[in-house]
Structure 1
Amino acid sequence: MPWTERQQALLQGMGLRIWSPPPAALRPAAPQAAPAIVPLAVQAPVEAPTPAVTQGGEPAPAHPVVSARTPPAAPAAAAVPPPSAPSPQAAGVAAMDWPALREAVAGCQACALCESRRNTVFGVGHPSAEWMIVGEAPGEQEDKQGEPFVGAAGQLLDAMLQAVGLTRSEADAAHQVFIANTLKCRPPRNRNPQPEELAQCAPFLHRQIALVRPKVLLAMGRFAIQQLLGRDEPIGRLRGQVHDYHGTPVIVTYHPAYLLRQPTEKAKAWEDLCLAVSVYRQRQG
């Protein structure tokens, strides 16, 4: 099925070439009576990334799964130092429902970030979304509006999602994503999160994932990857694989803010999104 004019405009706006539809044998079946929202597998045909090839010339296994709990051996320098222990007030987070969790985040004073924030950034999206996106720390605009991924980076993320039939706007669980950050408060001057800050916010993020129960997790940026996988290798070494977070597949990719600074990497981010779509379709079956 050819790309619609809207999808072509979205991809061209992101600086990406138009991908050809997959071969007929791989295309999804034609939809039945036209629903109000076209299913993801039909609305956005995507081309699967080219399989990796081993040194011997043989194709590598499709979508290798790397466990977050038992990662492959890595150099000692790549290990993430153990974070500080969460504060006692976070001990009950694992039992919270959505209202209690939102209230706990809004009133959190576990670290010094509470002193400089304007708003906490809890997250947005469908509470039972099949896709969940995890970003890094809120920036200036996020701190002002209390919502993740706003401004230019948010616009780029929205365009990427729309290209595969997803949205942050109100929709059903299969099409509306849930978006959250590793930190719920903005670090001053947008500096990198500190280990103790990540440790204090980790229970909030983990509880959000447990409540959403997504079929696919998309980790955008180095600190999101560290928080979900406990890995500190460069993103270029981790992308193109299917990682694992307590049984949920994780695809890692670049943060939209990085893509705005390095537009030549947008094609790689598109490949990562295609891989995520492929994994999602497998889990639908």
Structure 2
Amino acid sequence: MGKEELMKRLERRIKGCQKCPLGQLRTNAVPGAGSYDAEVMFVGEAPGYWEDQKGLPFVGRAGKVLDELLGAIGLSREEVYITNIVKCRPPENRDPTEDEIKACSPYLDRQIDIIRPKVIVPLGRYSMGYILRKFGFEPEPISKIHGKTFEAHTLFGKIVIMPMYHPAAALYKPPLREELKKDFEKLKEVIKSDK
């Protein structure tokens, strides 16, 4: 079975999921979007209002910031894969709970197994914490480790993990936009060196 078929099957499961109370509250589950052959996978925390309305990741104001950052290093959404740890919107855009992450993270694990990205970029502290622990690293505050690289070895090869601030943070704290731009420039170098 090819990647596309595996991902479509997984997306159907996510859209019908009721493993936690968020399944009752959502308008749409948000499995993810982009290339199933992506070398770079971005992992946010959870869908917000517009994501819940449209069933697509990063389509609100934070998504516009992400689009700008991608464009600045010559990438488009179609070339990368964008998803979240939690696939349904928490009420009032609150942070995802441990239970919600636990219920939903097997979907993310499966997406990583199918896509087999070379680089994973966790956006924000919750996705950073989950991804780093999953690959055997001890998370530190995101202010200390954003833009740093961690090398994980998996059954399908090396993955570089590069935590970054969530694009939404740039909306509330404009100085973080500069940090994000610098981190994306580093990401561009990591992608190049991996070719």
Q: Which amino acid aligns with 1:266?
A: R
CA distance in 1, matches of 2:147, 2:53: 34
Which protein is richer in helix relative to its size?
A: 2
Detail structure 1 runs of 4+ shifted over 2 Å in the superposition: 230-233, 244-247
Cα deviations by residue, 1:122-179 (Å, 9 ceiling, x for unpaired): 100011011111111111111001011012111111011011111114xxxxxx1110
Structure 1 residue identity aligned to 2:143? G
Q: Name the CA distance, whole Å, in 2 between partners of 1:276 and 1:210.
A: 21
3-state SS of 2:109 partner: helix
Question: What's the offset of the Cα at 1:113?
Answer: 0.6
Choose the corresponding residue for 2:165, options 254, 262, 266.
Answer: 254
Paired residue type of 1:226: G
Cα offsets for 1:201-220 (capped at 9, x unmatched): 11100111111111211111
Amino acid at match of 1:184: K
The yes-or-no answer on 1:100 pairing with 2:27 is: no
Letter of the 1:185 partner, please give it: C
Residue in 2 aligned with 1:237? 144
Q: Distance in 1 between matches of 2:166 and 2:85?
A: 13
Distance in 2 between residues matched to 1:232 and 1:240, nearest whole Å: 13
Q: Give TM-score, length-normalised by structure 1.
A: 0.62
Task: Tell me the residue number matched to 2:95.
Answer: 192
Residue 233 of structure 1 and its aligned partner are, at CA, apart by 2.4
Q: Secondary structure at the match of 1:252?
A: coil
Cα distance in 2 for partners of 1:240, 1:205 equals: 22
- Write the distance in 2 (CA, Å) between the matches of 1:232 and 1:239: 11
Where 1:183 maps in the other structure, the secondary structure is coil
Separation (CA, whole Å) in 2 of partners of 1:239 and 1:188 = 27
Q: Unaligned 5+ residue runs, structure 2?
A: none
Offset at residue 272 of structure 1 (A): 1.1
1:9-32 deviation per Cα after TM superposition (whole angstroms, max 9, x unaligned): xxxxxxxxxxxxxxxxxxxxxxxx
Which residue identity does 1:193 align to in structure 2?
P
CA RMSD of superposed structures (Å): 1.4
Q: Are positions 1:145 and 2:54 aligned together?
A: yes
Instruction: Tell me the amino acid that sits aligned with residue 270 of structure 1.
Output: K
Pairs within 5 Å for 1:42-57: none
1:132 aligns with 2:33: no
Give the deviation of 1:99 after TM superposition: 2.2
1:282 is matched with which residue?
193
- Deviation per CA, 1:171-208: give whole Å up to 9, x if none: xxxxx111000100001111111111101111100111
Residue 164, structure 1, aligned to residue 77, structure 2? no
Question: Identity of aligned pairs, percent?
Answer: 40
**CA offsets per residue over residues 66-120 of structure 1, 9 Å max, x none?**
xxxxxxxxxxxxxxxxxxxxxxxxxxxxxx9212211110111111111100000
Structure 1: segments with no counterpart, 5+ residues: 1-95, 170-175
The residue type paired with residue 119 of structure 2 is V
TM-score (norm 2): 0.89
Distance, in Å, in 1 between the alignment partners of 2:82 and 2:8 is 17
Offset from partner CA, 1:214-250 (integer Å, 9 cap, x none): 1211111011101201244211111232113443001
SS for the counterpart of 1:259 is helix
Per the alignment, in what secondary structure is the counterpart of residue 274 of structure 1? helix
